[in-house]
């Protein structure tokens, strides 16, 4: 591509050069030729006029004395002038007196059209110039003279000039071509060299190259600024590379820090769950042992206290379990797969039905609802949402739990709906807080971590979760992933 | 080595005295009257199995019917004990039931990977624990047939 414009520039230069030279020469030649055209013609006509006058004067005697042979001899002298085609003398009444013909074919006017009193009439006929003049003797018309001359001299001169001009023109054009080649070398080579360097840099991305070599003064500024620009690019490039390296180092550092923090958290929650559970086991176990072994000597109130102790330990066990799950959810690697949520809903509800066979729950599950997400985490979310639906409809005689998807603002939103206890929408803000509950533990058991876990899962998938409900009119939980 | 069920020894590897008491209670509640040897840490368990240290005078032909192994042990953890047990030809085929609170996937994988026969989670609620021990006892002591002990060496 660069080649194209550089050579068209040189072609333009050559053409321009030739054009200028040719125009100058043509104008000059035209001027000279025109000048010669005019002056030669004038000279010719002048010559003719003089010839006519001289001849007229010489022929006066012959005309006056009617000496025709003498007149013919005088006219015959015209043979010395090669341009004269024909000449004739007329008597004052216009009748031909004497004639001269260069060749036999030449003709002369009959003389009938000669008007009296004509003086030096010039006209062109048949590529020749004609002259008619009156001859006077002592103030009285003695006759007329007619000379016809060809323009050969004229044309020959023109031809000569033209051929000389052509030679000069040709020579000058050759010189012009030669000089434009030189010009091309002088001007275009540095430009082409510059273009070549640019191409090399663009191809190899090597910003260390510079344009150099001889450059004429006008291009020095261009080459210098070009090199300056390259130097800047090189600097910026290396600065960019350094910044990138720095960033990489920092990312590595952060990743290492993050990995370390994660590992710490993991071992922390792992050991916490174990170390917290062991004492719980003891509390529960020995309370039960007391009840079993010494229950007879205990009154109802004492037995009641032990039951409270055991219930409390069970609650704490569930809490630890849920906390662990929450931590696990936050840590887990997120896999993205196609998950059939409908099938999952079926499984979860079937398990809930198995664990509490006495309940009659109508399950309405939309089929073929799919999502892209981590199957294990989505299972946990579904367990929690459907488990909640199951739990909060347990006080009603009949229950209806729905699962499906709707379209909202062009994206798919999944929902779990129940017609159970619902909640007061005024407290909706607390729904997803960890350990926050909107129902007392005597109404419904729970740790308050379930929805926080679901929210964590949904957020990790980049989705949102929200709920709508009324007290005793059920609740609907919407989420996207 | 006697053949009756009651003669079979159960090795319980457990560091927590409360858990030990509760486990023994659970066994008793289920009428499992076998002798239970309790090892408080991994080293003690191995000493018992290989008849070393405090158990140097034990008869090496008498091996426990069942090993109940906790994972969280001081000094040497449960996995290390399991590894050593499986590495030794005399104890390689003994049934080992991991009895622990951890439900972590990686613990379960590691346990089975190292050759445990079973993995049981200790529930917090004691009633459930008794239930679990009953099933363990019924299965491992009555139903399951152990491999014969290698003679000699």
What ipTM score was computed for the predicted complex, to two decimals?
0.76
Please tell me the distance from the alpha carbon of residue A348 to that of residue A28, in angstroms, as a whole number.
107
Measured CA to CA, the distance from residue A55 to residue A46 in angstroms comes to 14
Q: Determine the pLDDT at residue A2.
A: 45
Do A278 and B102 count as a contact with CB atoms less than 8 A apart? no
CA separation, residue A392 to residues A62, A311, A405, A438 (Å): 158, 20, 21, 12
First to last CA, chain B: 17
First to last CA, chain A: 52
The CATH number of the domain where B73 resides is what?
Answer: 3.40.50.2300
At residue A480, the pLDDT reads 92
Cβ of A281 and B127 within 8 Å?
no
Residue B40 inside a domain? The answer is yes
pLDDT over 90, % of chain A = 16
Q: Does any domain span residue B41? A: yes
* Right CATH for A335-479 from 3.30.750.80, 3.30.565.10, 3.30.40.230, 3.40.980.10: 3.30.565.10
- Give me the residue spans of the domains in chain A: 33-104+111-170, 335-479
For residue B149, is it within any domain? no
Q: Give the pLDDT confidence score for residue A223 in this predicted structure.
A: 77
A285–B72 C-beta distance less than 8 A: no
Q: A399: closest CA among A358, A444, A432, A369?
A: A358
Average pLDDT over residues A326-352: 86
Put simply, the answer to whether A288 touches B16 (Cβ < 8 Å) is no
Rounded distance between C-alpha atoms, residue B33 and residue B35, angstroms: 7
Residue partners of A352: CB distance under 8 A and separation at least 6: A361, A386, A387, A390
A411 DSSP 8-state letter: E
Among candidates B19, B102, B124 on the partner chain, residue whose Cβ is nearest the Cβ of A317: B124
| Count of other CB atoms within 10 angstroms of residue A17 | 20
> In A, residues 310-329, which contact B (CB 8 Å cutoff)?
310, 313-314, 316-317
Taking a C-beta distance cutoff of 8 angstroms, is the pair A59, A89 a contact? yes
Distance CA B78, CA B98 (A): 8
CB–CB of A282 and B22 under 8 A? yes
Residue the block writes with tokens 């190899």: A204
**pLDDT value at position A435?**
72
Average pLDDT over residues A312-319: 85
Q: Is A466 helix (H, G, I), strand (E, B) or coil?
A: strand
Question: Is residue B152, in this structure, part of any structural domain at all?
Answer: no
Position B29 in a domain: yes
CB contact at 8 A, A71 and A89: yes
**Looking at the 3D structure of chain B, how many domains does it have?**
1
CATH class of the region A33-104+111-170: alpha beta
pTM (predicted TM-score): 0.50
Pairing mode of beta strands B35-39, A475-479: unpaired
Residue for token digits 């030096």? A120
The answer to whether A267 faces chain B, any CB pair under 8 Å, is no
| Nearest by CB: B124 against A270, A281, A286 | A281
* Residues in chain A within 8 Å Cβ distance of B72: 274
Q: Does the residue B148 lie in any domain?
A: no
Asked if B25 and A317 come within 8 Å (Cβ–Cβ), the reply is: no
d(CA B109, CA B103): 10
Please give the pLDDT value at position B4.
Answer: 56
pLDDT at A322: 82
* B81 occurs within a structural domain: yes
Of the two residues A400 and A335, the one the predictor is more confident about is A400
Mean pLDDT of chain A: 84
CA-based nearest residue to A134, from A118, A122, A156: A118
Which residues of chain B make contact with A288, given a CB cutoff of 8 A?
A: 126-127
Weakly modelled stretches of chain B, pLDDT under 50:
1-2, 153
> B59 lies in a domain?
yes
Full residue range of the structural domain in which residue B98 is found:
5-143
Tens digits of residue pLDDT in A121-178: 888 887 888 888 888 888 888 888 888 888 888 888 888 888 888 888 888 888 888 8
Task: Give the residue with greater pLDDT, A83 vs B10.
Answer: B10
């Amino acid at each position: 591509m660069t080649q194209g414009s550089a050579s068209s520039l040189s072609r333009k230069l050559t053409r321009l050069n030739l054009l200028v030279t040719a125009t100058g020469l043509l104008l000059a030649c035209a001027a000279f030729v025109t000048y010669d055209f005019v002056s030669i013609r004038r000279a010719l006509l002048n010559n003719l006029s003089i010839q006519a006058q001289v001849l007229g004067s010489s022929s006066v005697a012959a005309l006056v004395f009617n000496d025709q042979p003498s007149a013919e001899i005088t006219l015959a002298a015209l043979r010395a002038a090669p341009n004269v085609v024909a000449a004739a003398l007329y008597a004052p009444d216009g009748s031909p007196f004497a004639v001269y013909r260069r060749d036999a074919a030449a003709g002369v006017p009959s003389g009938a059209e000669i008007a009296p009193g004509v003086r030096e009439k010039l006209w062109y006929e048949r590529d020749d110039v004609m002259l008619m003049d009156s001859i006077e003797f002592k103030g009285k018309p003695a006759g007329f003279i007619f000379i016809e001359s060809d323009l050969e001299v004229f044309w020959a001169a023109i031809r000569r000039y033209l051929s000389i001009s052509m030679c000069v023109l040709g020579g000058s054009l050759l010189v012009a071509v030669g000089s434009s080649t030189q010009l091309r070398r002088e001007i275009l080579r540095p430009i082409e060299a510059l273009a070549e360097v640019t191409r090399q840099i663009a191809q190899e991305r090597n910003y260390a190259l510079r344009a150099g070599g001889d450059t004429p003064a006008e291009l020095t500024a261009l080459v210098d600024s070009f090199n300056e620009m390259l130097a800047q690019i090189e600097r910026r490039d290396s600065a960019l590379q350094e910044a990138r390296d720095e960033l990489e180092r920092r990312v590595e550092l952060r990743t290492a820090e993050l990995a370390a923090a994660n590992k710490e958290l993991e071992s922390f929650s792992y050991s916490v769950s174990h170390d917290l559970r062991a004492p719980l086991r003891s509390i529960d176990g020995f309370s039960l042992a007391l009840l079993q072994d010494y229950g007879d000597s205990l009154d109802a109130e004492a037995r009641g206290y032990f039951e409270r102790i055991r219930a409390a330990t069970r609650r704490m066990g569930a809490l630890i379990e849920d906390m662990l799950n929450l931590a696990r959810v936050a840590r887990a690697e997120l896999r993205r797969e196609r998950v059939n949520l409908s099938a999952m809903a079926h499984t979860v509800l079937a398990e809930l039905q198995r664990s509490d066979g006495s309940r009659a729950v109508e399950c309405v599950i939309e089929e073929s609802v799919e999502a892209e997400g981590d199957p294990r985490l989505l299972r946990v979310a579904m367990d929690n949402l459907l488990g909640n639906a199951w739990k909060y409809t347990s006080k009603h005689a009949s229950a209806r739990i729905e699962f499906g998807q709707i379209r909202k603002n062009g994206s798919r939103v999944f929902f779990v709906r129940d017609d159970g206890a619902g909640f007061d929408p005024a407290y909706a803000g607390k729904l997803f807080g960890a350990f926050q509950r909107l129902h007392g533990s005597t109404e419904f058991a729970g740790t308050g971590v379930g929805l926080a876990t679901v929210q964590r899962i949904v957020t990790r998938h980049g989705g949102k979760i929200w709920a709508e409900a009324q007290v005793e009119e059920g609740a609907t939980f919407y989420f996207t992933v | 080595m006697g053949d009756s069920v009651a003669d079979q020894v159960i090795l319980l590897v457990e560091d927590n005295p409360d858990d030990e008491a509760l486990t023994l209670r659970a066994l008793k509640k289920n009428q499992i009257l076998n002798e239970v040897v309790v090892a408080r840490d991994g080293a003690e368990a191995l000493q018992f199995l290989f008849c070393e240290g405090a158990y140097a005078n034990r008869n090496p032909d008498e091996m426990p019917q069942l090993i109940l192994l906790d994972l969280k042990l001081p000094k040497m953890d449960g996995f290390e004990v399991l590894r050593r047990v499986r590495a030794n030809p005399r104890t390689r085929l003994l049934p080992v039931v991991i009895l622990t609170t951890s439900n972590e996937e990686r613990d379960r994988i590691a346990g089975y990977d190292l050759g445990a026969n079973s993995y049981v989670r200790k529930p917090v609620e004691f009633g459930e624990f008794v239930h679990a021990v009953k099933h363990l006892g019924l299965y491992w002591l009555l139903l399951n047939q152990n491999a014969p002990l290698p003679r000699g060496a």
